[in-house]
Amino acid sequence: MLPTFLKKSFMFLACIIVCQAAGWIGSLATIPAIPTWYAALKKPVFTPPNWIFGPVWTTLYFLMGVSLFLVINQQTRLSKTPSLILFGIQLILNVTWSFVFFGMQAPGLALIEILLLTVSIGATILFFMELSSLAAYLLVPYLLWVIYASALNTAIWILNR
């Protein structure tokens, strides 16, 4: 049997890897579209440079992984299942957005999808707050970035209709 420290270390690493893997999967649709389709789009003045997205998302996925780890390891009588299901839903929506926006090149449909993502992140934060306030707070930068991305998605959709 593994000592508790090793079990927790393995779980921490697994949580980080799961979240980073979501980013990697999404990048399969994103990276090929950046120099072609995305480069040709009209973009709003508040569009950040392309190089900023990688470091921001890597950081956000790391924070998501830490948040997930904190909830999984929280000792509580409350059921963690609804919170973990919500976390999984938002992670799937996160990946899906890349395939809708970049892969399908459908900013209008991606706007609907990212609004669902935003709501699911907010719900995850509320559910995580019941289990670990730190886990919930670690998701706030992610929510703020997705709200910003929603505004960017909206502007791109409007400018390119």
pTM of the model: 0.95
CATH number of the domain to which 76 belongs: 1.20.1260.100
Please give the pLDDT value at position 142. Answer: 98
Please give the pLDDT value at position 77. Answer: 86
Domain of residue 45 covers 4-159
pLDDT digits (tens, 9 = 90+) for 111-142: 999 999 999 999 999 999 999 999 999 999 99
Whole-angstrom distance between the N-terminal and C-terminal Cα of the chain? Answer: 59
Q: Could you tell me the sign of the dihedral formed by the alpha carbons of 96, 52, 13, 75, in that order?
A: negative
Please give the pLDDT value at position 9. Answer: 95
115-121 long-range Cβ contacts below 8 angstroms, 24+ apart? 115/150, 117/90, 117/93, 117/146, 118/143, 118/146, 118/147, 118/150, 120/86, 120/89, 120/90, 120/93, 121/90, 121/146
Please give the pLDDT value at position 100. Answer: 98
Please give the pLDDT value at position 3. Answer: 85
Number of domains the chain contains: 1
Structure tokens at 102: 């970049």
Residue stretches of the chain with pLDDT short of 50: none
* CB-side neighbour CA atoms (13 Å) of 124: 28
